[in-house]
Amino acid sequence: MQWSLRSIFASALVLLAANPVISCPVSVNNRDVLPLVVNTVYQFDNTTWNENLAVRENGKLLVTRLDTPILMQVDPTNAVAPVTVANFSSEYAGLLGITETLTDIFYVVAAAPFDDDFVKTSGVISVFKVDMNTFNLNDSGAITSAAEVTKVADISTAGFLNGMTTLNDVLGYVLIADSYNGVVYRLDVYTGNYTIIIDDDNMKYLSDSITNLGVNGLKIRDSYLYWSNSGNPIFCRIPINDLGEATGASEVVAAVDSADDFVFRADGTAWMAQNQIESLSVVKDGVTTLVAGNSYSTILAGVTAGAFGRLSTDSNILYLTTNGGLAIPVNGTIVVGGEIASIDTSVY
């Protein structure tokens, strides 16, 4: 999540009317040809901000929305239309990070109202459990059995909770980025207890950044916690133990501009969503390469997060959420509907 929202939605409808969509797809024939082809899985109405996503074991996508506090399920095959899994109270501004612990048990961040500086103006930030084991649709896509939704904790000390990842699915530990304060919380989803577990300088935003958001996306790989930083163009990691505590110093893995969330492919390459510059880049061996989108294209307008498929048929397919350019309109004026997009990464 980037930039501020107060002025975005007030001006969005004005921006939508007059401008043509810019796109520049290029076919990929082998790993040496870029940009990668971006396909649209589903495009929502204008002013839709898709913020984050997780892939269920059955291949369906769970998508958090920031323009409204709802969680949606999207079928990447489009066999049925997207459905609302959970509609949270209007006391929340929207939803952000999502992570799975045990099979089909997900946790989501619900944001309290906040101002242009990402400071809470009322209420409290909460984390909810969404049990999808009870969720079912009929053949026409109508809900026949609802997901079970319960509040886990109100995290009153947090500034702006954002990205989230699972530390230990059995013990019920998840890590959550507080982007405004530049720290990471550990939450015990079984007890609701939480604490700041990592506070590192590389998690802070720079004083001259256009956003007051630092640490954003979180992922754990090979006993390291990795994170993107929206207000400092660095992609970092730090060694951690089983409790999420740092066991050494942090280090910069690569330079990445305007990073929102990110995801690792099985081979260890990191795929970085660059919301503010409408781009997707790959980090490999410390080198950052632009692979799709650009600041002048609506192909990945406001790309916010990514997740790889979990079926044998789509394990190399990267699914992406976008906000249509609501954070930073393309060419300063163009806003399109938020999307669920996909990229076949097997060619790269």
Q: Give the residues across from 40 on adjacent strands.
A: 341
* Tens-digit pLDDT profile for residues 75-106: 999 999 999 999 999 999 999 999 999 999 99
Q: Which of 63, 35, 187 is nearest to 125 (CA)?
A: 187
pLDDT at 7 exceeding the cut of 90? no
pLDDT at 40 exceeding the cut of 50? yes
Measured CA to CA in angstroms, residue 335 lies from 8, 26, 70, 121 at distances of: 10, 22, 21, 27
**Is the Cβ–Cβ distance between 112 and 68 less than 8 Å?**
no
The predicted model gives 309-317 an average pLDDT of 98
* Tens-digit pLDDT profile for residues 135-145: 999 999 999 99
SS (HEC) of 151-172: EEEECCCCCCEEEEEEEECCCC
* Tens-digit pLDDT profile for residues 143-182: 999 999 999 999 999 999 999 999 999 999 999 999 999 9
pLDDT at 61 (0 to 100):
98
pLDDT at 119 (0 to 100):
79
pLDDT at 13 exceeding the cut of 60? no
pLDDT at 31 (0 to 100):
54
Domain spans of the chain? Answer: 6-347
pLDDT at 57 exceeding the cut of 50? yes
pLDDT at 55 exceeding the cut of 60? yes
pLDDT at 192 (0 to 100):
98
pLDDT at 19 exceeding the cut of 60? no
For the chain, what is the mean pLDDT?
A: 92
pLDDT at 5 (0 to 100):
46
Q: Which CATH superfamily is domain 6-347 in?
A: TolB, C-terminal domain (2.120.10.30)
pLDDT at 28 exceeding the cut of 90? no
Radius of gyration of the chain from its Cα atoms, rounded to whole angstroms: 19
pLDDT at 260 (0 to 100):
98
pLDDT at 12 exceeding the cut of 60? no
Of the two residues 16 and 301, the one the predictor is more confident about is 301
Distance of CA 173 to the CA centre of its chain: 19
